[in-house]
Amino acid sequence: MELEKLTNDIAQIARLGGDYLRQARKDFHTDLVENKHPHDYVSYVDRNSERFLVEKLHALLPEASFITEEATVKQEQAADFQFVIDPLDGTTNFIRDNAPYCVCIALRSSTEFLVGVIYEVCRDELYTAYKGGPALLNGKNIHVSAVTDLNEAYAFLELPYNVDDYQQTGEWMYRQLYGRVTCLRMPGSAAAGLCYVAAGRFDIWFESFIGRWDYSAAALIVRQAGGTVTNFFGNPDIMNTNHIVATNGPLHTEIIQLLQGALPNGIK
């Protein structure tokens, strides 16, 4: 399998998916938005985008199965390779016409990530990486920051929809970081936040109760950009977890240690 060529082909599909999102946003029908869970939305745009991506990716690599957020295809079929897709990461941003939102495509085996492609639609930014290759933004190499002091760090504090299980963690980390790091932000797109760490714009990102489609592609991009990605316990095996920490590397141990003060309910 020629990963570099495959990455370029997947990137073109991601751009086409982004073109659809950009056009759909122009005449988006908010009355067709549905609640998957409290404050967690889905729309016809998510599902149409996913069907389009699945069709194109199946033609590109017919032997691969799919893990998709909106379940428009049968999930978890036995296969040596799987595409992991989020057709619209940042749906809430999209609904209100806010940036950022992304198309996310990863290719994985049963044991490792092979390709990661994120297209951030609002800034026309295409992030790509493959196993053993560079992390790129619109074709140019990117690298995580060199910040070593938490006081100088730019951090993302994401707040997932699982309020009852995550509230203690969110409040705890807010108290630990607010006034200490240079800034705290919340992009509303896990994929975009991770990619901004890869590009050196931010130094820390973490969130729990997220799906594999939210982080798989971007996690590989962060790692190939020189960063560190683990679960909340510092374990680098994140193939099937739902809690992720991504940093530039030097700050990772300190963030993991802080998280141990108030872990979310129910994570393993």
Give the mean pLDDT per block of 10 residues along the chain (268 residues).
Answer: 96 97 84 55 77 96 90 67 95 92 97 98 98 98 98 96 95 98 96 98 97 97 98 97 98 98 93
Summarised one tens digit per residue, pLDDT across range 52-110 is 999 999 999 999 999 997 677 665 556 799 999 999 999 889 988 999 999 999 999 99
Predicted confidence at residue 113, as pLDDT, reads: 98
Distances (CA, A) of 36 to 42, 70, 264: 7, 10, 21
Domains defined for the chain, CATH in brackets? 3-141 (3.30.540.10), 150-259 (3.40.190.80)
- Which pLDDT belongs to residue 69? 77
pTM: 0.94
The predicted structure's pLDDT at residue 41: 45
Report the C-alpha gap between 65 and 9 in whole angstroms. 17
Please, which residues bridge with residue 201 across strands? none
Q: Give the chain as a 3 state SS string.
A: CCHHHHHHHHHHHHHHHHHHHHHHHHCCCHHHCEEEECCEEECHHHHHHHHHHHHHHHHHCCCCEEEECCCCCCCCCCCCCEEEEEEEECHHHHHCCCCCCEEEEEEECCCCEEEEEEEECCCCEEEEEECCCCCEECCEECCCCCCCCHHHCEEEECCCCCHHHHHHHHHHHHHHHCCCCCEEECCCCHHHHHHHHHCCCCCEEEEECCCHHHHHHHHHHHHHCCCEEECCCCCCCCCCCCEEEEECCCCHHHHHHHHCCCCCCCCC
Question: Do 127 and 120 meet the contact criterion of CB atoms below 8 Å apart?
Answer: yes
Closest CA to 106 of 216, 212, 182: 216
